[in-house]
């Protein structure tokens, strides 16, 4: 492990502050205090910073380091591929071996006839690709006006202009002065954290309303995350995804599943839709496809969709990134999937869900501000309320979730606060290799940190 002296650390902090514009970060905070931590090493569920302090990476960094840190085999796969063929393009029907092998492997994992793959460098590009493909499809079918995309409130689909426009979180939309046209938002499903109308038996009333209002002949697709991640780990009730599928079939609309977080074992099955046996027309992937070791995204489409594109199109598909199907990224993805399968990580995540839920129960029993916990596989969350019995949330200015996340960080635990719309959600999605004892450690750090936050918010522990 690398060690750094005081001068080296000071230099790194200064240079970061001077030259690095951080993604999704407070710029004022950065300019006042510099980066919060500078990491140098990763092993298993742990990250180590320049001071040699170890942290449990309970968000798998950005919900993506599924196989954990420090897997030498993945670096080896990249090195081997780069030594043979570092790069070649797939434009104009050129190809190479690792992209062919990865496509075959993915086809064996994805449900139904989602057997054809387009490659990107991440989730936003995958979603933008999906939007362009479905519009292109309808245009070629003789319906150029069928181009609107319906997303859900609280959905997160990324930060390119198309993906931001599909995203249903206001802060991301506020960043740009205008959005791409033809994106609409329906109310999120009712959930175990009680969004939507609990008493409404029609899960998809809001989506249906938009379709009928706009006219199905104007709607190209509905996009949903099987479990909303960045929106606060919103798990749909059983029957919801099936109802969306039925609705799409009823109105002749395509269904896009954004599996960027859920894919590759996160929820206890290989893909989120597998819990409900739903087969979308298009499936977007990234993150866990390489466990974050190298950038890669993919868009799966059904063979039916590909065949009808090929049938009516005598033209070039004018869509491709320089790094579509990058050889080294594909080689790493293959090795990563091999690890996920060999170590049976989806099943392990499913087993650990019970431990996580047990831990959440402990926190709920011992801390009056903890409520509404939920988990599916190794993605979970709980909420902080000023008065959980009366359902009174903390006022945003109390910064309850942010304070807790900072307390956790100071005790060596990395988790995420989701605070938009006045909510105080604490989200976590640790590497899928986490074990029972490590989950207990996470819960124990939470408990210590919550006690401090409770005191600072003038509440008593029970
Ligand atoms: N879709 C979902 C569900 C995500 O969670 C994310 C990122 O967190 C994205 C898309 C965007 O992916 P990327 O950041 O790789 O562009």
In order along its 462 residues, the chain shows pLDDT tens digits of 768 999 999 999 999 999 999 999 999 999 999 999 999 999 999 999 999 999 999 999 999 999 999 999 999 999 999 999 999 999 999 999 999 999 999 999 999 999 999 999 999 999 999 999 999 999 999 999 999 999 999 999 999 999 999 999 988 988 888 899 999 999 887 654 444 444 555 678 889 999 999 999 999 999 999 999 999 999 998 889 999 999 999 999 999 999 999 999 999 999 999 999 999 999 999 999 999 999 999 999 999 999 988 987 677 899 999 999 999 999 999 999 999 999 999 999 999 999 999 999 999 999 999 999 999 999 999 999 999 999 999 999 999 999 999 999 999 999 999 998 789 999 999 999 999 999 999 999 999 999 999 999 876 555
Distance (Å) from CA 139 to ligand 1 centroid = 27
Q: Say how many CA atoms lie within 13 Å of 229 toward its Cβ.
A: 26
Q: Is 320 found in the same domain as 244?
A: yes
Q: Is 98 found in the same domain as 172?
A: yes
Distance (Å) from CA 148 to ligand 1 centroid = 21
Q: Is 274 found in the same domain as 171?
A: yes
Q: How far is CA 10 from the centre of its chain?
A: 33
Residue 32 placed within a domain:
no
Question: What are residue 379's DSSP bridge partners?
Answer: 376
Residue that finishes a domain, picked among 342, 369, 395: 342
Distance (Å) from CA 157 to ligand 1 centroid = 5
- Among 286, 289, 291, 299, residue to substitute to test ligand 1 (most atoms within 8 Å of Cβ): 286
pTM: 0.97
Residue 256 · residue 284 · CB < 8 Å: yes
Here the CATH number for the domain that contains residue 446 is 3.90.1150.10
Here the CATH number for the domain that contains residue 284 is 3.40.640.10
Residue that finishes a domain, picked among 317, 342, 367: 342
| Ligand 1 neighbours (beta carbon < 6 A) | 122-124, 127, 156-158, 225, 229-230, 258, 260-261, 286
ipTM exceeding 0.95? yes
Residue that finishes a domain, picked among 286, 316, 342: 342
Q: How far is CA 180 from the centre of its chain?
A: 22
Residue 18 placed within a domain:
no
Q: What is the pLDDT of residue 133?
A: 97
Distance (Å) from CA 123 to ligand 1 centroid = 4
**What secondary structure letter does DSSP report for 111?**
S
Pull the structure tokens for residue 64.
């993506």
Q: What is the pLDDT of residue 376?
A: 97
Distance (Å) from CA 298 to ligand 1 centroid = 12
Q: Is 376 found in the same domain as 430?
A: yes
Residue 8 placed within a domain:
no
Q: Is 124 found in the same domain as 56?
A: no
Q: Is 288 found in the same domain as 144?
A: yes
- Among 256, 263, 287, 294, residue to substitute to test ligand 1 (most atoms within 8 Å of Cβ): 287
Q: Is 352 found in the same domain as 325?
A: no
Q: Is 283 found in the same domain as 349?
A: no
Q: Is 310 found in the same domain as 403?
A: no
Torsion angle (degrees, nearest 10) of CA 367, 455, 231, 40: -110
State the residue range of the domain holding 153: 72-342
Residue 4 placed within a domain:
no
- Cα–Cα dist 424/427, whole Å: 10
- Cα–Cα dist 346/48, whole Å: 26
Q: Is 349 found in the same domain as 338?
A: no
Residue 28 placed within a domain:
no
Q: What is the pLDDT of residue 173?
A: 87
Distance (Å) from CA 395 to ligand 1 centroid = 29
Ligand 1 atom, smallest distance to 123 CA: 12
Residue 389 placed within a domain:
yes
Q: Is 251 found in the same domain as 119?
A: yes
Q: How many helices (H) and strands (E) does the chain have?
A: 15, 16
Report the 3 state secondary structure along 354-407. Answer: HHHHHHHHHHHHHCCCEEEEEEECCEEEEEEEEECCCCEECCHHHCHHHHHHHH
Q: Is 198 found in the same domain as 62?
A: no
Residue 22 placed within a domain:
no
Ligand 1 atom, smallest distance to 160 CA: 16
Q: What is the pLDDT of residue 191?
A: 57
Number of domains forming the structure of the chain: 2
Residue 192 placed within a domain:
yes
């Amino acid at each position: 492990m690398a060690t750094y002296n005081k001068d080296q650390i000071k230099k790194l902090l200064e240079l970061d502050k001077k030259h690095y514009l951080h993604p999704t970060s407070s710029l004022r905070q950065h300019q006042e205090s510099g980066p919060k931590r500078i990491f140098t090493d990763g092993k298993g569920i742990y990250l180590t910073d320049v001071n040699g302090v170890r942290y449990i990476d309970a968000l798998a960094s950005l919900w993506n380091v599924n196989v954990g840190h420090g897997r030498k085999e993945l670096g080896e796969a990249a090195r081997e591929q780069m030594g043979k063929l570092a790069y070649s393009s797939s434009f104009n029907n050129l190809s190479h071996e690792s992209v062919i092998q990865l496509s075959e492997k993915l086809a064996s994992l994805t449900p139904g006839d989602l057997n054809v793959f387009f490659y990107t460098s991440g989730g936003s590009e995958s979603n933008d690709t999906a939007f362009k493909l479905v519009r292109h499809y309808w245009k070629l079918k003789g319906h150029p006006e069928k181009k609107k995309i319906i997303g859900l409130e609280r959905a997160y689909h990324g930060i390119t202009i198309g993906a931001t426009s599909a995203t249903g979180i206001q802060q991301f939309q506020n960043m740009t002065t205008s959005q791409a046209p033809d994106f609409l938002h329906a109310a999120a499903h009712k959930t175990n954290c009680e969004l939507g109308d609990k008493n409404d038996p029609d899960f998809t009333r809001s989506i249906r309303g938009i379709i009928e209002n706009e006219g199905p002949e104007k709607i190209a697709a509905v996009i949903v995350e099987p479990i909303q991640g960045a929106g606060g780990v919103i798990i749909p009730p059983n029957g919801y995804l099936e109802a969306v599928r039925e609705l799409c079939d009823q109105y002749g609309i395509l269904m896009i599943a954004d599996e960027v977080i859920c894919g590759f074992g996160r929820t206890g099955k290989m893909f989120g839709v597998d819990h409900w046996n739903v087969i979308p027309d298009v499936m977007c992937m990234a993150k866990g496809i390489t466990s974050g070791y190298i950038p890669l995204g993919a868009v799966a489409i059904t063979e039916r969709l590909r065949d009808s594109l090929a049938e009516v199109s005598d033209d070039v598909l004018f869509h491709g990134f320089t790094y579509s199907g990058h050889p080294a990224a594909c080689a790493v993805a293959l090795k990563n999937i091999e690890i996920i399968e060999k170590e049976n990580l989806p099943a392990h995540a499913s087993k650990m869900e019970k431990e996580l839920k047990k831990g959440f129960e402990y926190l709920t029993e011992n801390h009056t501000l903890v409520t509404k916990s939920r988990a599916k596989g190794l993605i979970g969350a709980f909420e902080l309320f000023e008065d959980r019995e009366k359902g009174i949330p903390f006022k945003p200015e109390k910064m309850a979730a942010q304070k807790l996340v900072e307390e956790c960080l100071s005790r060596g635990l990395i988790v995420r606060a989701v605070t938009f719309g006045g909510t105080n959600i604490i989200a976590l999605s640790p590497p899928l290799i986490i074990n029972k004892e490590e989950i207990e450690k996470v819960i124990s750090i939470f408990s210590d940190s919550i006690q401090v936050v409770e005191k600072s918010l003038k509440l008593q522990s029970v």
